[in-house]
């Protein structure tokens, strides 16, 4: 384990991996097992928006589009939140969360992050990851 969670996801168990290519990866991190919550990240450690190369960033849009589509199809959510704070980890990464239709008004937007502990469900989160992985491989 390093002090960079997105880097440590290189060692994630197969069941936590939603998507990987040579540049990008998407997984369910330990402690974030909420159904429909994924972390999309650059596989190498690069910080903020200034360190990824133009080539890497050019590939980001198409990958993000496919993962959001798979996440929504796998969950039936009405939307996907796509969040980047760069606060705890400067590594270029995003927290993607399904936006359920019945999400309480006080939990909408960035406030959804605060619902993590009460919605942890490892089995259900890994089942969503498996379905998204299947959709992305199809």
**Which residues in the 48-67 window bind Zn ion by CB under 5 A?**
none
Name which of 7 and 67 has its Cβ closer to Zn ion: 7
Instruction: Please give the size of the binding site for Zn ion, defined by CB under 5 A.
Output: 5
CA angle 39, 43, 44 (to 5 degrees): 130
Helix H or strand E encompassing 73 = helix 54-75
Distance CA 53, CA 32 (A): 28
Name which of 49 and 73 has its Cβ closer to Zn ion: 49
Distance CA 71, CA 7 (A): 22
- Which stretch, 39-47, 54-62, 105-113, 114-122, contacts Zn ion (CB under 5 A)? 39-47
For position 4 contacting Zn ion by CB under 5 A, the verdict is yes
Name which of 6 and 52 has its Cβ closer to Zn ion: 6
Binding residue (CB under 5 A) for Zn ion from 45, 66, 99, 116? 45
For position 133 contacting Zn ion by CB under 5 A, the verdict is no
Helix H or strand E encompassing 80 = strand 79-83
Distance CA 74, CA 4 (A): 28
**Which residues in the 72-91 window bind Zn ion by CB under 5 A?**
91
SS3 of 26, please? strand
Two tokens, residue 83: 């969040």
Name which of 4 and 130 has its Cβ closer to Zn ion: 4
- Applying CB under 5 A, the residues found at the interface with Zn ion are 4, 6-7, 45, 91
């Amino acid at each position: 384990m390093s002090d960079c969670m997105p880097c440590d996801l290189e060692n994630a168990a197969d069941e936590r991996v939603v998507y990987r290519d040579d540049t990008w990866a998407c997984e369910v991190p330990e402690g974030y097992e909420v159904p429909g919550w994924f972390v999309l990240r650059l596989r190498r450690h690069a910080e903020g928006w200034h360190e990824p190369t133009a080539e890497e960033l050019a590939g980001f849009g198409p990958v993000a589009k496919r993962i959001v589509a798979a996440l929504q199809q796998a969950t039936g959510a009405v939307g996907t939140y796509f969040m980047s704070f760069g606060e705890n980890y400067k590594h270029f990464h995003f927290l993607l969360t399904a936006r359920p239709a019945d999400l309480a008004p006080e939990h909408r937007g960035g406030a959804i992050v605060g619902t993590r502990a009460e919605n942890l469900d490892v089995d259900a989160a890994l089942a969503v990851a498996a379905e998204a992985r299947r959709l992305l491989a199809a």
